[in-house]
Amino acid sequence: MEKLFIAIDGNSLVNRAYYAIQRPMMTKDGIYTQGIYGFLNMLNKLIEDYSPDYIAVAFDRKSPTFRHSEYKEYKAGRKGMPNELAMQMPILKELLKIMNIASLEMDGYEADDILGTISCFANKENIGTMIVTGDKDALQLATDKTKVLITKKGISDFDLYDSDKMMEVYGFTPEQFIDFKGLRGDTSDNIPGVSGIGDKTATKLILDYKSVEGVYENLENISSEALKKKLENGRDMAFLSKKLATIIKDVPIDFQSEKYAFKEPDYPALIEEYRRLELRSFLKRLADKVPSNALDADEKKEREGTDVSLLMNKKKDVKIRELDVEKLDELSKILKANDSLVINVFNNGSHRNTPEIYAVTFFSEHSLEYFHIKIKDVNDAIKLIQFIKESKMKLMGHDMTETLYPLLYLAYSKGINGDRGRFFNIEFDSAVAQYLLEPSRSKYDLEAMMFERFQIKFEQKEAQMDLFGEAGGSYIDEGLEKSLAIVDLRNLLVPIIEKEGMQKVFFDIELPLIEVLASMEARGFSASEDILKSQADELEKKLGVLRQSIYEQAGEEFNINSPKQLGTILFEKLSLPHGKKNKSGYSTDIEVLERLVPINPIASDIIEYRGVSKLLSTYAAGLVSAIASDGKIHPHFKQTVTATGRISCVDPNLQNIPIKQEMGRKIRKAFLPSEGSVLVGADYSQIELRVLAHLSEDESLIDAFKNGEDIHRATAARIFGVPKDDVTGVQRSGAKAINFGVIYGMSNFGLSNELGISRKDAEEYINDYFGMHRRVKAYMDLQVAMAKADGYSLTITGRKRLIPEINASNYMVRQLGERLAMNSPIQGSAADIIKVAMNRVYDKIIEEKLESNLILQIHDELIIDTKMKELDKVKELIKTSMEEAVELLVPLTVDVNTGTDWYELK
């Protein structure tokens, strides 16, 4: 099999990588990484797909080449490399060095010349070459032995050329591509070519006369006088352009193929560099490939600058003990030492609606003992749960909402409630800790975290349960490794959290919230399958009516769900405006359809069709499958998803049921209280505006809230200069849009779209608002300035959000960063407040020994499944707990409602 040399145009690929990633990527130390990240993705895919024997990367240098000497305008006007990318180039080259991949550059030559030289040398040694670039200049290098891979969008979208492919696509040879460039020129490199000659003419001339020389030797045979004149006038430029376009193939480089042989990287150094650059996805990939003997945990620990003594290194010293639930007194002996235990619960995790626990393990950091308790049946599980509750043992874990859910589910199913305090005394959660430090991270995988922090790989892979409930592989060992990792991370991360000033949000808010979320999941929300099916039938009928109306207006039947077919109907058959065609057809997104609404009623029907279709598939029909055997839906609440700190809901997402239209709101009719109960809902009134008033200390906003005024009416009166009683509905709506727009950094363009007014009027509204609320303007400007200086924003509890976008050179990205800097402290503080309120409500229910239960959180609203006999007490409890969650300069106001189903709450 022929050997392969992959030769990469480094500048071309890193540029494409940089611009392909729309959002800036930055480390906490301010190092931009999106160019590096994208380049490494491409590089790794090339290596995985082609398994090269040799590899090298060529780079351009800033120094001029012979081409600049020949033609001073060569590449003139080309946009320079942005600073954010330029700072990544030396880092990328150092990474290549660590990866044992040669990088080549030479004064006076471009990367193309180096690649051309490599391909010639390699071919002479009978080594096949693949040149990887985004620049079509390299097509002239294609031969039977040299293929040219032209990247279009990353590595997944490319064209691969050899000499045959060149003939197929262009009709001429790779060598003739130089002549083509000589006649046609190249605007990207500012190669002039012959003025007035484009692709078609240049191609025909090459096919007829073979080369630039051949064209001018046969100038008299060209019948078109106009073309002949262009060629005569452009003779010098044609030959100069051909020279400029010709890639040099004899750059004086020392080519010994073995110097470029593909080798294993310097793993320890690469791991350290990936960690420094926070390239977690590459670290995770590396963990699966790196040989274990390449890692020295003590050395890595030393490089990290921490004195953490890793328990993972003491794994062999741990005493493993198997216990029956009847012998839990042995655990009690350890608890006397005020020990903290890591808990792992092994269950049929794929069946959240009917969890079955197979084993629970506890690890004692104090005694280095690991207790494995096999659960034979539900009775065993209940005994263990009661032991945990009564002993008040300090617990640690990873993603503990998931860990504790099956325990609480079984406890509640057997009537065991928290009437004598909380079930769990949670001391640490490694996922939540990492989330606080890196809230924009997409995943908080324990193994990945250990590899990033300590370069330690797990030996045991996650255990799988077989059909008979037995664990495949050693889940005892798996649990032990997880336990050791959690303690190691606790010892490392807690001091960092304290150093970052986030101990209050971690210990007082997030850790207590874990049991609250697990409890809401385990309690569940009763749902009527009959009502959902009835609503599905109603929505199906509505879809049928809309479908028929759309067909009649289109004049034919087609697949409405197919954007391609829909685009053809709208913009070709009906000839509607605003059609923008791309590779896959016309865009038919909501913005396009909304522009068509005033022009043709079919657009309104399509928008409504899509809305009804989503209601049917996602909610009316989709929720039926989520109903468990107990008649309830048990959604999963996640506290490590949003960068602002808001809680998210999945499987299913009950926070996102559409309520702006009646059809969506009616879905809530299917959600019912338990027997003998009623639903009580309480939500904060304009909490984000109240937070803004508090943070900005704006006197007019503070006075309005303290006086219980309609804040939007009060704002309208000030902006439009009219008495409050004379404010019109339109004026109030405008003021409402401004009030909330300010929170999200809305521009005059955004406000003009929101209100349907001119940008000039919108700008006047905003200026008038800030004229009346100068402290709000000063506060917003201060947040932007602080985020630019510090790289993050802060909430009232000290929660941080990193905002790398704010220092980007790209205007649009920088504007996004400024909006985040203005909004994050407000939205994040509101998230903190509702979390504090949830903890208070949960604890108050326990303290009052009530049978009612907190079952759902939707942004700024809480819902309690309330026993009728406890209704008055619950209404007072929830209102007081929420309004007294934190002390602001303005009162927190809570609206309380009751209903026999969720629909009736508002």
Identify the burial level of 828 via C-beta atoms within 10 angstroms of its C-beta, where 0-12 means exposed, 13-18 middle and 19 or more buried.
buried
Please tell me the distance from the alpha carbon of residue 880 to that of residue 854, in angstroms, as a whole number: 15
Please tell me the distance from the alpha carbon of residue 403 to that of residue 518, in angstroms, as a whole number: 9
Q: What is each CA distance from 297 to 275, 450, 452, 470, in whole angstroms?
A: 14, 11, 11, 33
Helix (H) or strand (E) holding 345: strand 340-347
Q: Are 605 and 553 in contact (CB under 8 A)?
A: yes
Q: What are the tens digits of pLDDT across the range 634-659?
A: 999 999 999 999 999 998 999 988 88
Helix (H) or strand (E) holding 362: strand 357-364
Nearest to 670 by CA among 538, 530, 852: 530
Q: Which amino acid is at 530?
A: D
Q: What are the tens digits of pLDDT across the range 814-844?
A: 888 899 999 999 999 999 999 999 999 999 9
Could you count the other beta carbons within 10 Å of the beta carbon of residue 265?
Answer: 20
Q: Is the pLDDT of residue 463 over 70?
A: no
Q: Which amino acid is at 797?
A: T
Mean pLDDT, rounded, for 838-861: 95
Mean pLDDT, rounded, for 77-82: 72
Q: Is the pLDDT of residue 375 over 80?
A: yes
Please tell me the distance from the alpha carbon of residue 66 to that of residue 48, in angstroms, as a whole number: 37
Place of tokens 């490590």: 640
Please tell me the distance from the alpha carbon of residue 666 to that of residue 664, in angstroms, as a whole number: 5
- β-partners of residue 359 are 346, 374
Nearest to 367 by CA among 330, 416, 325, 396: 330
Report the SS3 class of residue 310: coil
Q: Which amino acid is at 15?
A: N
E-strand stretches of 673-775: 677-684
Nearest to 880 by CA among 831, 832, 845: 845
Produce one character per residue of 859-887: b if its CB has 16 or more CB atoms within 10 Å, e if not: ebbbbbbbbeebbebbbebbbebbeebee
Q: Are 174 and 151 in contact (CB under 8 A)?
A: no
The per-residue pLDDT for 76 is: 66
Which bin fits 416, alpha (ψ -120 to 50), beta or left (φ > 0)? beta
Q: Are 893 and 711 in contact (CB under 8 A)?
A: no
Q: What are the tens digits of pLDDT across the range 737-782?
A: 888 887 777 777 777 877 777 888 888 888 888 888 899 999 999 9
The per-residue pLDDT for 77 is: 61
Nearest to 156 by CA among 16, 3, 325: 16
Please tell me the distance from the alpha carbon of residue 235 to that of residue 111, in angstroms, as a whole number: 28
Percent of the chain whose pLDDT exceeds 90 = 51
Could you count the other beta carbons within 10 Å of the beta carbon of residue 830?
Answer: 25
Which bin fits 126, alpha (ψ -120 to 50), beta or left (φ > 0)? left
Percent of the chain whose pLDDT exceeds 70 = 93
